[in-house]
Amino acid sequence: NFVKLIKKEIKKGKREDIYKNRILHMLRTIRAFLLRFRKLHTIFLDPHIHEDLRIALNWADESISIVTENGFIRLLDHCRLIPGFNEITLLLADFINEETDYRVSMDYKYQYNKMNPLCGETMAYRESILKKWSQSSMYMNNENSHTPRRISHMIAGIAAGLAMGFALFIAIYAESYFPRNSTWWILIIVVSYIFKDRIKEILRNSFGNMLPRLTSDQQSNLFDPALRNKVGKSSGTINFVNLLSVPDAVKELRYKRPNPFRKILPENDIIHYKRLIKFKSKALKKNHSRLEAITEIIRFQIEDWLKEMDDSQDFLYRLENNVKCRIPGGRVYRVHLIVGLLDINFEREERLFHYRIILNKSGIMRIEKVTFQPDVD
């Protein structure tokens, strides 16, 4: 807000002395704040303070440093447009360089490394993670309410009852002389119809969950391309799940890097796709004696994801010899893909493979096989 205000005043071109003093005052204020805040590092060496608090202090310090540097780089750009502001621009450049050197001295992850071609991408991702962490205390947790579903069941039942009642009353009007159409008999029919309709829906959903192979989202028969004989079948189901339903082995692989603040960060969106494939192995081997393996291709449509992504051209900048330079690389998103292979006919341990898909608004940039790295999430 301060930088935006100064930008407006510079455009007006009036009373340069006022906003010159305001800039100097802000610079002194920020310096004083950072000096006092960073004294906490000494206090936090107390052995009675939990390690999680030290990590929180480091993350907060790194986050504040990034915000401060980026803000003053923008301010430096505006000040260079004003003749006679050389002294202020030098002070701002020195301050920005001090922040860069400070993060290096503290071994923080937000650092420029010209030897790393993906440095800008890594820095943008780190800035995003710290922003989410620092603002997480302002977010309310949301949980799906069961009330709409319950109300929908009630409404559906009432609607079914009204429809049945209407049909019965029409039948009574036509057959008004038949004694079997008494009031109590009608009420029993209507109520029984309501329960019958709801029981049917509940059982349908229950059986669908109990027999996913019979109610899968995708089903196909597999044929030998040479003889067109059926040699297997394939079925797939997809569900949106929460972290509690994820197997421990998958959670251990995905969250191998420790993070004491994972509980307060927004939860990951988790999609579970399960594919079951059955082959008639004898028939395949009989027709293809040199068969060694079968390739399975699974495709996912990510177009809707790309539409929701931020512009990848939101660049980061740094100072080099007091000159503003763009850091190569852009903002990216990371999707973790964990593939599990299991032979259901044998009691063997499931084999898990972990990949990280790097995307931006244009699509997939690359796919990395994940090995444990303490500095990468």
Tens digit of each residue's pLDDT (9 = 90 or more) over 13-24: 777 777 788 888
What is the DSSP secondary-structure string of 181-236? --HHHHHHHHHHHHHHHHHHHHHHHHHHHH-TTTT-SEEEEEE-TTT--EEEEEEE
pLDDT in tens, 340-358: 998 887 767 788 999 999 8
Buried b (16+ CB within 10 A) or exposed e, 7-26: eebbeeeeeeeebbeebeeb
More confident call, 324 vs 189: 324
The β-bridge relationship of strands 333-341 and 316-320 is unpaired
pLDDT band at 205 (very low <50, low <70, confident <90, very high): low
Strand ranges (E), 263-377? 270-279, 316-320, 323-327, 333-341, 351-360, 363-369
> Average pLDDT, stretch 243-255?
87
What kind and span of H or E run contains 241?
Answer: strand 230-241
CA distance 103 to 100: 5
CB atoms near residue 130 (< 10 Å):
21
CA distance 317 to 66: 11
Asked whether the predicted pLDDT for residue 141 surpasses 50, the reply is no
DSSP single-letter state for residue 161: H
